[in-house]
Structures are given as C-alpha cells and as structure tokens.
A and B are shown apart, each in its own frame.
Chain A
Amino acid sequence: MLDFNLIPILPEIFLAFTAMGLLIVGVSGGNKSTDIICWAAVLSCLMAIFLLFGISWQRTTVLNDMFIIDQFGGFMKLIILLGMIASIALSVKYLYQEQMIRFEYPVLMLMACVGMMLMVSAHNLLGLYMALELQSLSLYVLAAFRRNSYKSAEAGTKYFVLGALSSGLILFGISLVYGFTGSINFSVIQTSLSNEGAANIGAIIGMVFLLSGLAFKISAVPFHMWTPDVYQGAPTSVTAFFAIVPKVAAFALIIRLLYEPFAPLMEQWSQIILFLSVASMTVGAFAALVQDNLKRLLAYSSIGNMGYALIGIVAGNEAGVSAVIIYLFIYMFMTAGTFGVILCLRRGGIASEKISDLGGLSLTNPALAYAMAILMFSMSGLPPLAGFFGKLFVFQAAIDGELYALAIYGVITTVIAAYYYLRIIKVMFFDDPVDTLDKDIPFARRAVIFVSVIFVLGFIIKPNLLVSSSQSAASAITAPQGLAVKKTIKEPPQAAAAGDRPSSTEAAATVTGAQDK
C-alpha cells in the first residue's frame, strides 16, 4: 500500500486518543473529575480545529483510497468541531444540575465526534458504514444516559431499534451497489455508473436503500418517527447535541455520496430528495403547530429545517451545495443558542420544558427573553437575521435550478412554520408571568447564547466570510465531477417539477414577495 499517510487523518486520531486518555483519567479520578474531563474535551476539540487547519485541504485520498480530505470535508469537519464545543459546553453544568455526573459522557461525545468526522471523510462504502456505526452507537448510549428515567430509557431503546433498522437498510443498499458496480470505492462506483448510467437498475435500488437509511439519520420525513420521542426523552443537553451536530455530519455524507459516486444518477436521486424535502417541510410546519413541549417543538422544527436544507441538494448545482452548507452552519448556531435558553429554564432546581413555562419571561428575565426572541425571529426567517439568509440562499439555488414550485412551496411552509416560532415570542412577552427562573446561569451557557445571538445579528455585516468559504467547499465537491454533473443539471428539474410548474414571472413575484416580508 503506497498511500499509507496518516497526516490527513491526524485530527481524528488525536481526538480518538484524547477520548481514551480522558477515559483513563475518569476511571482513576472517578465521577468527581467529570467537569475537568468535559473542559479537557472542549480543549481537545479546539486543538483538533488547529490540527485541521494545519493539514492541507487539497483533495487527497489516503489509506487505500478509504479516506478523503478535501475542502468540503475540511469545512464540514470545522462545523462539526464547533458544534461539539458548543454542545459539550452546554452540557457541563446540566450534568451537575440533573445529578447525572458520569465521566463517560464527554468521552462518548468525543467518540461520536470521531465517528462524524470519519463519516465526512469516507471515500468507501465500508468506511462509511463503520464511521456511521461508530457515531450512532455513541448517540444511542447518550440518549439513554439518564438511566433512572423511563423517558430516557425509552428514547434510547427507540433510537437504537430504529437506528439498527436503518443500518440494515444501508447495509442492504451497500450490498446491492457492490453487486451491481463491482466495487465499494466511491470513484470506481462513479466511473462504473457513468459508463452504464440509468441502465443499472440494481445500483439504483441500492442507492435508494442507502438514501433511506441516511434519511433516517437526518430525520427526513417519512423516516422521522423517532425524532420527537427521542428529542423529548433524552436529557436536554443530549437533545441539544443531537440537534446541533450529527445532522451536519449526515448531510455532509449525503452530499458526498450524491455528488461523488452517485453523480451519474442525478436524475434518479433528485426525485427522491425532492420528495423527502417536500414531505419534511410539510410535516415540520404542520405537526409543530400543536406541540406544547419545547423539545418536541424543536424536534419538528429540525425536521422542517432538514427539508429546507434538502432543497439545496435537489437544486443539483454548486450554488445548491454551498447553500446547504451555509444553511446548516446558520441552523447550528441558532439551535445551539435556543437550547442554551431552554437549558436555563429551571425553577427551584427542576427543569421545565413546556412552552407555557416561558410565560412572561420578558418580565422575569428580560435578557433571556430577548435572546430567545431574536433566535426565534431568526428561525422563522425574518430579515435581517441570519436565518433569513440561510433560507434565501437555499431558495435562490432552487430558482437557479429552475425548481420554482419547490421554492414557492418552501416559502409557504416557512410562513406556516413562522406561526409557532412567533407563538413562543408571544408567550414570552404577552402572557402572564409564571414563577421566576433560577438565577444561576452558568458562564458557558451564557457564552453559547451570547455567541449565537451575536452571530445571528451580525451575519448581515460580513456574510462573505461564510459564503465564500462555503462556496469553495462546495466547488471542491462538485468540480471534480465537472462534466458529469453539468451534463445532467438541466434534466432533473423537468422530471421533478413536471407536476405543476407555474410561469416563471409568477414564481419570481412570489419570491420577491417573500423577501420583502
């Protein structure tokens, strides 16, 4: 093997070894050392970011073509590590408040992080599956982390059983793809598929299975059944982690799969992604209307957000991919802040997670209420907050891809979804106050909320920072395919939006209307 080079994989190796080292520290120090280990985990994520910047992001594959590093992967890993830092920082105090102080918590988080980073860099179906399992297994344990709560145990069990089912689907898909293309290597699959194209029905069915399994991981409808229950049952800090990080990794994986090995099948997969996107937006908008639990509400909100992000993939162009990256980045910041606020909702040492518990927050704790209001306005997509730009880029990509119907539908569901975001604001500002919250908000939580609010407010000042880097990341994933992608770009919209395509002037009018809103 000529390409035995461990440099590109250095951040992952570093994190894996740190996790093991921290486990040893925990075993010898006992649960008392939990906070030290948590902060050490945050520090190691920071160091992993430095390592990530230290290595070259030139497209290289190492270890027998199993591992790829390119600009897209590097940038996605950066997002994942930032999300990890936020979610570990949010958890530390929560572990103490909820009496679930166990030093394994940050270790499992780090292992999940290693799994996610390996997912982003997978260049082989076997490596993909192994990385996915590493991540999922850590997440199952984390969901059931509060052992003495039935809800948490239920969440863990449900997640595990359905997750195992989705792993089965993925494996079956992999076996079909292997059988019909003769390889598990991404580039070989791509060449084999571009030679045969749509004639290879077996590979298409395999891809469908693979996509179904991955849709489960990003909780896209109709594979979303587990999300509300798991979000509600898992400890809130774990829910925050679930909402922030694994989705980014799964999205990165889907993008890499669709634009590298399955790029020749764009016509086929764009229909699947289109369906997933429309269904997710619908369920995310309507099912959340009747929720009264904040965590459940955010679960449906995340389902809807995944739908919007999927629009960018359907668009099938470089702008689409970069829009997805921007969307995920912004979504991650908003979610981190929102969960930071939810974690602060404690009365008399007991966490409350009902929407009605937010009542009159503007009187009892104005700073928190305004932070939450800004985040909710941003989530609902009001300009000039960051959330608006996330949606704007995605819809613009859809317009570029001539998916007018999809863009209009996205705008409509955004408007519907705005209802429940605004309802939270209404409850905070116009309802009668309930008891005051506990005052001791830990520094880390303040910091996360502060950073996320600043990001949401300040994105408009310097959007190019994110936009240009995500564009170069997107071009890294779409450019090598070059011809294959460009050739098929013009076809999918016709197949996809064949049903009811409004005249382009009407579409443009609606979209500008949405921008004015």
Chain B
Amino acid sequence: MIIQALAFYLFAGILSLSALAVITARNPVHSVLFLILAFFNASGLFLLLGAEFIAMILVIVYVGAVAVLFLFVVMMLDINFSDLRKGAMQYVPVGLLIGLILLIELAVIYQTWSLDAITAAASISMANMGETTNTELIGANLYTNYVLPFQIAGLILFVAMIGAIVLTHRSRPGVKRQKVAQQYARQRDEAMEIVKVTPRTGA
C-alpha cells in the first residue's frame, strides 16, 4: 500500500513539474522532451490504476507518434518562438481571471457531487469484469457495444485522409515517376543515341 502511495506521489509530482516545464522552457525542443516525460509519468499513473492497456497505448501513441511528430515540426519549421511569446504576458491577467472563475465553478459543482448516483452504474461494469484482462475487455466492448462509434471513428479518419490530400496534394509537372510497364517496354533505340565522336575537334 505504502509503495503504491509513494509511486503515485512520485509519478504525479514529476508529471506536474514536467507539465510546468513544458510551458516555461525557453527552448521548444526542451518543451517537447518534457512533454514526453509527462506522458511517461501519466502512463505510470494509469498503471497504478490497473489500466495497463491504456498505459501502453499512451506510451506508444503519444510518445511514439505524437511527440516525435512535434519534435519533427519544431525542428523543421524555423519559427522564432521567443517572438511568438512576445506580448503574451499582457493576456496573463485575463487568463488568470478566467482560470479562477472556472476553478470556482468546478469547486462549486464538486460540492454537489455524490458518488451514489454513479456507483450503481460503475458496479455493474466492475461485476462483469471477473478474471478478464482489461485489454480483452476493451476489445470485446469496442467491437460489440461500441461498434457504432468505432465505425464512425473509422469514417472520421477516412475523411481526415481525404481532407489532407485535397488540401495539400499538388501534382507537379516534370516529376519523374516509376512506371514499371513503360520502363520495361522501352526499346534500346528510343532510350539511347549513338553519337559519332570525331577526335580532336573538341565536340
């Protein structure tokens, strides 16, 4: 029990600190690296909750794909982040005010929150779990109970793919492409020309 508590505070502490470092680091590359650290610690928290599948997915998807993509973008785009940050300080009071209002609101609704209403629903799903691992459970749920949102998600990705192609793909003239059939069908006559070189004329 005590080890769990220790692990929780360790993960949570590093998570909070590295999240803070993400937005305060001067160098954007450092920000992304801190973000990766934050993801690792968040997945540690998920492990403590017994959600090992989500923990692994977090590492694979967010660290393996998203954060690396960020890193690429940060390194490839030559954006001067200190210029972007100039003048951001003037929004701090407004931001703090809105944050404070949201915090108060959340505090107010937290007062009224009772677990009774949802424990009934939660206990049902817990009871069904039995000995199955949560990977198995997620898989079974995703393809049966949640098949409609799952399929819509597929359609959304499909649209995203079309959209990316529509908005960015340009067919440039003069690009050499592999056309295997044409390349094989080419005869020697059309591919090369035999030039008679006369010596000592320089041409």
Query: CB within 8 A of B109: which of A23, A127, A192, A205?
Result: A205
Give the docked Cα–Cα distance between A5 and B156 (Å). 22
| Contact indicator per residue, chain A 114-127, by CB within 8 Å of chain B (1) or not (0) | 11001000001011
Do the beta carbons of B144 and A1 come within 8 Å of each other?
Answer: yes
Residues from chain B with a CB closer than 8 A to the CB of A111 are 155, 158-159, 162
Do the beta carbons of A200 and B112 come within 8 Å of each other?
Answer: yes
Do the beta carbons of A180 and B113 come within 8 Å of each other?
Answer: yes
A10 CB, nearest partner CB in chain B, Å: 13
Residues from chain B with a CB closer than 8 A to the CB of A107 are 162
Give the docked Cα–Cα distance between A108 and B159 (Å). 7
Residues from chain A with a CB closer than 8 A to the CB of B165 are 104
Query: CB within 8 A of A63: which of B120, B147, B156?
Result: B147
Residues from chain A with a CB closer than 8 A to the CB of B159 are 108, 111, 134, 137-138, 141
Asked if A483 is at the interface of the complex by the 8 Å CB criterion, the answer is: no
Asked if A131 is at the interface of the complex by the 8 Å CB criterion, the answer is: yes
Asked if A140 is at the interface of the complex by the 8 Å CB criterion, the answer is: yes
**B interface, over-half SS:** helix
Query: CB within 8 A of A182: which of B117, B145, B156, B166?
Result: B117
Q: A130-B156, A133-B156 are in contact. Are A108 and B163 (CB under 8 A)?
A: yes
Name the interface residues of B104-148: CB closer than 8 Å to any CB of A: 105, 108-109, 112-113, 117-118, 120-122, 144-148
Residues from chain A with a CB closer than 8 A to the CB of B109 are 176, 180, 201-202, 205
Give the docked Cα–Cα distance between A64 and B141 (Å). 11
Do the beta carbons of B163 and A64 come within 8 Å of each other?
Answer: no
Give the docked Cα–Cα distance between A293 and B180 (Å). 53
Closest to A64 in B: B145
Residues from chain A with a CB closer than 8 A to the CB of B60 are none
Do the beta carbons of B153 and A179 come within 8 Å of each other?
Answer: no
A171 CB, nearest partner CB in chain B, Å: 13
Do the beta carbons of B145 and A183 come within 8 Å of each other?
Answer: no
Do the beta carbons of A104 and B162 come within 8 Å of each other?
Answer: yes
Residues from chain A with a CB closer than 8 A to the CB of B152 are 115, 118, 127, 130-131, 134
Residues from chain B with a CB closer than 8 A to the CB of A138 are 159, 163
Give the docked Cα–Cα distance between A1 and B150 (Å). 15
Interface core residue of B152, B156, B167 (most chain A CB under 10 Å): B152
Q: A126-B146, A182-B117 are in contact. Are A141 and B105 (CB under 8 A)?
A: no
Asked if A66 is at the interface of the complex by the 8 Å CB criterion, the answer is: yes
Residues from chain B with a CB closer than 8 A to the CB of A182 are 117-118, 120-122
Give the docked Cα–Cα distance between A183 and B120 (Å). 10
Asked if B160 is at the interface of the complex by the 8 Å CB criterion, the answer is: yes
Give the docked Cα–Cα distance between A35 and B163 (Å). 19
Asked if B64 is at the interface of the complex by the 8 Å CB criterion, the answer is: no
Asked if A145 is at the interface of the complex by the 8 Å CB criterion, the answer is: yes
Question: How many chain-A residues does the 8 Å CB contact rule pick out?
Answer: 47
Q: A134-B152, A140-B163, A205-B105 are in contact. Are A181 and B117 (CB under 8 A)?
A: yes
Interface core residue of B117, B155, B162 (most chain A CB under 10 Å): B155
* Interface Cβ pair total, 8 Å cutoff: 96
Query: CB within 8 A of B146: which of A4, A64, A183, A196?
Result: A64
Residues from chain B with a CB closer than 8 A to the CB of A137 are 156, 159-160, 163
| Contact indicator per residue, chain A 168-183, by CB within 8 Å of chain B (1) or not (0) | 0000000010011111
Residues from chain A with a CB closer than 8 A to the CB of B105 are 205
Asked if A423 is at the interface of the complex by the 8 Å CB criterion, the answer is: no
Name the interface residues of B68-83: CB closer than 8 Å to any CB of A: none
Give the interface size class of chain B.
20 to 34
Do the beta carbons of B162 and A23 come within 8 Å of each other?
Answer: yes
Do the beta carbons of B121 and A183 come within 8 Å of each other?
Answer: yes
Residues from chain B with a CB closer than 8 A to the CB of A205 are 105, 109
| Contact indicator per residue, chain A 147-162, by CB within 8 Å of chain B (1) or not (0) | 1000000001000000
B112 CB, nearest partner CB in chain A, Å: 5
Do the beta carbons of B158 and A20 come within 8 Å of each other?
Answer: yes
Give the docked Cα–Cα distance between A114 and B148 (Å). 13
Residues from chain A with a CB closer than 8 A to the CB of B167 are 141, 144, 147, 156
Give the docked Cα–Cα distance between A163 and B165 (Å). 21
Asked if B149 is at the interface of the complex by the 8 Å CB criterion, the answer is: yes
Do the beta carbons of A134 and B112 come within 8 Å of each other?
Answer: no
Residues from chain A with a CB closer than 8 A to the CB of B118 are 179-182
B171 CB, nearest partner CB in chain A, Å: 10
Closest to A130 in B: B152
Name the interface residues of B161-180: CB closer than 8 Å to any CB of A: 162-163, 165-167
Asked if A339 is at the interface of the complex by the 8 Å CB criterion, the answer is: no
Residues from chain B with a CB closer than 8 A to the CB of A145 are 166
| Contact indicator per residue, chain A 83-100, by CB within 8 Å of chain B (1) or not (0) | 000000000000000000
Do the beta carbons of B117 and A114 come within 8 Å of each other?
Answer: no
A249 CB, nearest partner CB in chain B, Å: 14
| Contact indicator per residue, chain A 53-74, by CB within 8 Å of chain B (1) or not (0) | 0000000000110110000000
Q: A111-B155, A133-B156 are in contact. Are A141 and B166 (CB under 8 A)?
A: yes
B116 CB, nearest partner CB in chain A, Å: 9
B107 CB, nearest partner CB in chain A, Å: 12
Instruction: List the 9 closest A-B pairs by CB distance, nearest first.
Output: A182-B118, A141-B163, A130-B152, A182-B121, A202-B109, A66-B148, A64-B145, A63-B148, A130-B149
A selection of 18 A-B contacts at a CB cut-off of 8 Å is A4-B147, A9-B148, A16-B155, A23-B162, A66-B146, A111-B159, A115-B152, A126-B149, A127-B149, A130-B153, A133-B156, A137-B156, A145-B166, A180-B117, A182-B122, A200-B112, A202-B109, A202-B112
6 more contacts with CB within 8 A, not counting A111-B162, A127-B148, A182-B118, are A20-B158, A137-B156, A137-B163, A176-B109, A192-B117, A201-B109
B→A interface (CB under 8 Å): 105, 108-109, 112-113, 117-118, 120-122, 144-149, 152-153, 155-156, 158-160, 162-163, 165-167
